[in-house]
Homo-oligomer: A and B are copies of this chain.
Amino acid sequence: MSQIQRTGERLMALGIELPEPPKPVASYVPSVIIGNLCFTSGQLPLKDGVLVAQGAVGDTVSVEDAVAAARQSILNCISVAAAAAGSVDRIKRVVKVLGFVQSDDTFHQQPQVINGASDLLQEIFGDMGRHARSAVGTNALPLDAAVEIECIFELTE
**A interface residues, Cβ below 8 angstroms from B:** 24-32, 34, 37, 39-42, 56, 93, 95-98, 100-101, 103-112, 114-115, 118-119, 122, 130-144, 148, 150, 152, 154
Interface on chain A toward B: helix, strand, loop, or mixed SS?
Answer: mixed
Given A42-B136, A139-B105, A140-B110; A131-B29 close (CB under 8 Å):
yes
Given A27-B119, A39-B95; A111-B34 close (CB under 8 Å):
no
How many Å lie between the Cα of A108 and that of B98 in the bound state?
19
Which of A103, A131, A132, A150 has most chain B Cβ within 10 Å?
A132
How many Å lie between the Cα of A109 and that of B135 in the bound state?
22
In whole Å, how far is A138's beta carbon from the nearest beta carbon of chain B? 5
Are B132 and A142 neighbours in the complex by a CB distance under 8 Å? no
How many Å lie between the Cα of A95 and that of B32 in the bound state?
6
Are B31 and A108 neighbours in the complex by a CB distance under 8 Å? no
